[in-house]
Amino acid sequence: MAQVYDVFNDVAMETLRRMKEVPLRATFPYHEVATKDAIRHFAFGYRDTNPLWTDEEYASGTRYGGIVAPPTFLCSCQSGIGGAANM
């Protein structure tokens, strides 16, 4: 069985060093439009099945009258570090 220190050999470390400047995610904003589909996929992405953001029939009977985005959806709409305050 390989030990943890066996996995991070010189080749692996050199590969990681070369990846230092590689962006790991798309630049913000990830979402430009809060569509029902984008909201639903965002919520399902972190396993939040709250019907207010996933079930149009349920959400239409609430005071909002339809699907709304979870508060954390704003994080996917931010413009650089500092979030929506920089928009």
Residue 85: its pLDDT value, please? 42
Query: How confident is the model over 18-67, as pLDDT tens digits?
Result: 877 776 665 656 777 888 999 999 998 889 989 999 999 999 999 999 99
Q: CB-side exposure of 56: number of CA atoms within 13 Å? A: 5
Is the torsion defined by CA of 20, 22, 28, 33 positive or negative? negative
Q: What span, in angstroms and rounded, lies between the C-alpha atoms of 50 and 22? A: 35
pTM: 0.56
